[in-house]
Amino acid sequence: MLKLDFILIGAQKAGTTTLDSWMAQHPEIYLPPQKELNFFALEGKKPDWPGPGDDVAVDGSVGNRADYESIFESAGDAKVNGESSVLYLYSERAPVAIHREFPEARFIVSLRNPIDRAYSAFGHLRRDGREPEADFSKALELEELRISKGWEPLWHYRAMGFYGRQLVHWLSYFDRSQFFIVHNSQLRRNPDTAIREIFRFIGVDSVFRPNLSIESNSSGISRNQQLNDFLNLPHGFKSILKKIVPLRFGRRVKTLIQKNNLQRLAAMPEELRVQLTKEYAEDQALVEEQVGYDLPPVSR
């Protein structure tokens, strides 16, 4: 019988890959080597996202119950089992499906300034050669069209940042005490305290100290696009490395190479930041109401 004690549900581009890497080092925790299984957000089958490069996310998603359960066969005698799928926070279906099977599960949520999160998602897709628009404003104009065409949620730059309404939906199924909500600025500023509190929250030894130097999944513009393409192609670097080293270690190697191949995105135009600040203002107030403390301001 499947045992699932906690889930890292989001937000996307808010430090979840780094957090997953830290937590996976704990001897009492089992986390699958692959993130973004997306099982509880799906309808019992793989998604058919048709956007540029969406096939990678499609291939990584698990829609079949037997396949999902088999991933946890390696858990051994771990005290707690968990998984990380950042689509869940955004998904309307996920909390319904999870509550049906695991009403006592615990959830970890890492939040980020929604404007910076959106721009980072844009940079992620630019890095991977998937986003054809160099202008973020133009990409935002195309968002509704892309959503209507069924592109994977990574393309939902603006929409994925409305955490308030997302949390309200989740809290209609689960009690607030089942959520550990942290802002990614807290992870950067005081990672040791944050990870200790997370370990305590999910019921494992909070004295254990993981290697906190591991960071993952940076966004930006690739200096060498051919190298980046090789790192991301299903039959490229990942396929080769998977044959000789464990998946999680291979992901760290890929991240290190990718990070050294990146240059920062240009600063977002101030007028666009002002516009997005206004769009998110009401939702940010809703987030603070759910979180229980003031968040760093969206504008800066």
State the pTM of this model: 0.86
Residue written as token pair 């994925």: 160
Tokens standing for 7? 């889930």
* Angstrom distance (rounded) from CA 40 to CA 93: 7
Cβ-in-10-Å burial (0-12, 13-18, 19+) of 178 comes to middle
Per-residue confidence (pLDDT) for residue 71, from 0 to 100: 97
Q: Which residues contact 177 (CB under 8 A, 6 or more apart)?
A: none
* Cα gap 159→117, rounded to integer Å: 11
Cα separation, 131 vs 124, whole angstroms: 9
Q: pLDDT category, 211, cuts 50, 70, 90? A: very high
Domain ranges of the chain: 6-114+158-215+279-291
Fill in the DSSP letter of residue 300: -
> Do 195 and 22 form a contact (C-beta atoms < 8 A)?
yes
* pLDDT tens track for 235-269: 555 555 556 656 655 555 556 555 565 567 889 99
> Structurally, what CATH architecture does the domain formed by 6-114+158-215+279-291 represent?
3-Layer(aba) Sandwich (3.40)
> Over the stretch 140-165, which tens digit does the pLDDT of each residue have?
999 999 999 999 999 999 999 999 99
